[in-house]
Amino acid sequence: MSDPYLYAVTNNVATFSINGAPWNLMSLEYIDRLEEQLPEVLADDQIRAMIFTGEGLDHFSAGMNLKQIPDGIKRAGSPEAFFGQRHKVLDMIERGGTPTIATLYGYCLGGGLELPLACHFRIAAATGAQIGLPEMDLGTVPAWGGSARLPRAVGRTYALDMILRGRKIDGREAYRIGLVSELVPIETIKDRAQALGEELAAQPRKAVESMLDVVVGHETKTLDESMADETAAVAANRDTHDSTEGMRAFMEKRKPVFNQ
Written as tens digits, the pLDDT of the chain (260 aa) is: 689 999 999 999 999 999 999 999 999 999 999 999 999 999 999 999 999 999 999 999 999 999 999 999 999 999 999 999 999 999 999 999 999 999 999 999 999 999 999 999 999 999 999 999 999 998 999 999 999 999 999 999 999 999 999 999 999 999 999 999 999 999 999 999 999 999 999 999 999 999 999 899 777 788 888 888 888 888 888 888 888 888 888 888 888 889 87
What would the DSSP string read from start to end of the chain?
Answer: ---SEEEEEETTEEEEEE--TTT--B-HHHHHHHHHHHHHHHT-TT--EEEEEESSSS-SB--B-GGGHHHHHHHHSSHHHHHHHHHHHHHHHHHSSS-EEEEE-SEEETHHHHHHHTSSEEEEESSS-EEE-GGGGGTS---SSHHHHHHHHH-HHHHHHHHHTT--B-HHHHHHTTS-SEEE-GGGHHHHHHHHHHHHHTS-HHHHHHHHHHHTTGGGS-HHHHHHHHHHHHHHTTT-HHHHHHHHHHHTTS------
Q: How many residues are given for the chain?
A: 260
Q: Give the span between the Cα atoms of 150 and 158, in whole angstroms.
A: 9
CA atoms within 13 A on the CB side of 87: 12
Catalytic residue among 29, 94, 135, 173: 135
Which backbone phi and psi does 78 adopt, to 5 degrees? -170, 160
Domain spanning 5-201, CATH class: alpha beta
Predicted confidence at residue 7, as pLDDT, reads 98
Rg (Cα) of the chain, in Å, rounded?
Answer: 19
Can 135 be counted among the known catalytic residues?
A: yes
Q: Can you give the pLDDT at residue 165?
A: 96
In degrees and rounded to multiples of 5, residue 58 shows phi and psi of -80, -55
| Chain centre distance of CA 62 | 16
Residues 202 and 212: their CA atoms lie apart, in Å, by 16
Q: Kindly name the residue from 114, 199, 219, 225 that is annotated as catalytic.
A: 114
HSE value, Cβ hemisphere, 13 Å, CA-based, for 175? 16
- The structural domains of the chain, with segments of one domain joined by +, span 5-201, 205-251
Helix axes 79-95, 69-76, angle to 10 degrees: 90
Q: What is the pLDDT of residue 234?
A: 85
* Spatial CB neighbours of 10, under 8 Å, sequence gap ≥ 6: 194
What pLDDT, on a 0 to 100 scale, did the predictor assign at position 1? 61
Tell me whether residue 114 is one of the annotated catalytic residues. yes
* Residue 107, beta-bridge partner list: 130
Residue 17: per-residue pLDDT: 98
pLDDT in the model for residue 223: 82
- Yes or no: say if 73 and 82 are a contact pair by the CB < 8 Å rule: yes
> Within its chain, how far is the Cα of 82 from the centroid?
20
